[in-house]
Amino acid sequence: MRWDSQRADSDPQQALLGLDGLVRSVRSPEFAGVTFHEVRARSVLNRVPGQSAVPFSWTVNPYRGCSHACAYCFARNTHTYLEFDAGRDFDTRVVVKINAPEVLARQLKRPSWRREHVAMGTNTDPYQRAEGRYRLMPGIIRAFAESGTPFSILTKGTTMSRDIPLLRSVSGDVEVGLGVSIALLDRELQRRVEPGTPSPQARLELVRRLRDAGLPCGVMIAPVLPGLTDSTEQLDALLAEVAEAGATSATVLALHLRPGAREWYAQWLAREHPELVDGYRKIYGRGSYAAAGYRRVLAARVGPLLRRHGFARDRGEASHRIPAPREAEVVPEQMTLL
């Protein structure tokens, strides 16, 4: 890519950017319509609020915004903190923390750092397509390994394949959790609802490659989209493919719609599947989470399928660690990690 010749500094929206440390903004013909805002971050370790139900206390996000352009992405509203919108700007204005590996390495060397688990991919994908150009993840992975910090990565991006040798190497030094998100098999629907992602088959191949390298890899079947991907037949077919790929776990989570994602997904649904709009109003009402009745039905549907494909035993507790435990299940009242 000829990135140095593709500066976008003349963009009239530059004056509106709420970005500290902005170095430059660039475009490339290989990312039509996407602007990358390169910044120098002062910190990249983010503490998770204490009231959060997630099983980790720290995250790292080398990118903000995501060219995967998933209509349902829960992280959309975080873009409004940068004076961007949660819709098209989230898909096309990607903030890149170009010094993330160096800053992280310094932070992990502090005497106060307690080597707590750090999660990646819980907001925006660290292996979205731009990672092929910026190559931030190898340095981030090495920083974790050299500091003895356990970490996990959840991704839809097959760029992770590039780093399999490195992940395998550092897994002998620190705990490494890997997860791949695959919501559906229908290629036509995938192109419409998550147009910037690799195909489901490419992600299944990523699972195979990780497992062939001796690395554990769980699959997040998320989000399950009511009326679109939640039939017994669809879920059974997807779980069969996930099992065949060798996944060490499978976790199924229903769609939830936080502010920002809720409005953007509602527009997409009205445009693509207007016949489902009334049903979604009944399921989601005015809140972010699917109604308890829908979650109970989904759990009853998925439980036998998980057991059929070797992913679940009769257990009552839930775990959302990436990778999830070998016994994975749908837990109706815990749907917070979508």
Residue of 116 and 56 predicted with greater confidence:
116
Residue 185 φ/ψ, nearest 5 degrees: -105, -25
- Residue 33 has what pLDDT? 93
**Residue 269 in contact with residue 213, Cβ under 8 Å?**
no
Q: Of 78-87, 122-131, 229-238, 285-294, which range is least confident?
A: 78-87
- Residue 30 has what pLDDT? 87
261-272 and 277-284 helices, crossing angle to 10° = 150
Alpha-carbon distance of 54 to 154, in angstroms, equals 14
Number of helices (H) and strands (E) in the chain: give both, helices first: 11, 11
- Residue 18 has what pLDDT? 61
Alpha-carbon distance of 265 to 81, in angstroms, equals 20
Mean pLDDT of 300-317: 79
Q: Is the dihedral of CA 20, 23, 25, 31 positive or negative?
A: negative
Q: pLDDT for 237-265, tens place per residue?
A: 999 999 999 999 999 999 999 999 999 99
Retrieve residue 305's tokens: 């399928």
Alpha-carbon distance of 152 to 162, in angstroms, equals 17
Q: Reply yes or no on whether the pLDDT at 328 is more than 80.
A: no
Q: Of 83-92, 121-130, 172-181, 329-338, which range is least confident?
A: 329-338
DSSP letter (8 states) at residue 7: B
Q: Reply yes or no on whether the pLDDT at 314 is more than 50.
A: no
- Residue 169 has what pLDDT? 98
Mean pLDDT of 10-38: 78
Q: Which residues of 175-194 are buried (b: 16+ CB within 10 A; e: fewer)?
A: ebbbbbbbbbbbeebbeebb
- Residue 55 has what pLDDT? 73
Q: pLDDT for 138-154, tens place per residue?
A: 999 999 999 999 999 99
Mean pLDDT of 102-122: 96
Cis peptide before 223 (omega within 30 of 0): yes
Mean pLDDT of 283-289: 91
Residue 281 φ/ψ, nearest 5 degrees: -60, -35
Degrees, nearest 5: CA angle 303-204-94: 105
- Residue 196 has what pLDDT? 96
Q: Of 28-37, 95-104, 183-192, 230-239, which range is least confident?
A: 28-37
- Residue 17 has what pLDDT? 52
**Residue 179 in contact with residue 153, Cβ under 8 Å?**
yes
- Residue 329 has what pLDDT? 30
Neighbours of 195 (CB within 10 A): 13
Alpha-carbon distance of 66 to 124, in angstroms, equals 6
Q: Reply yes or no on whether the pLDDT at 336 is more than 80.
A: no
Mean pLDDT of 299-315: 85
- Could you tell me what percent of the chain has a pLDDT over 70? 86
Extended beta strands in 102-228, E state? 118-120, 151-155, 176-181, 218-224
DSSP letter (8 states) at residue 194: S
Alpha-carbon distance of 308 to 302, in angstroms, equals 10
**pLDDT grade, residue 319 (50/70/90)?**
very low
- Residue 281 has what pLDDT? 96
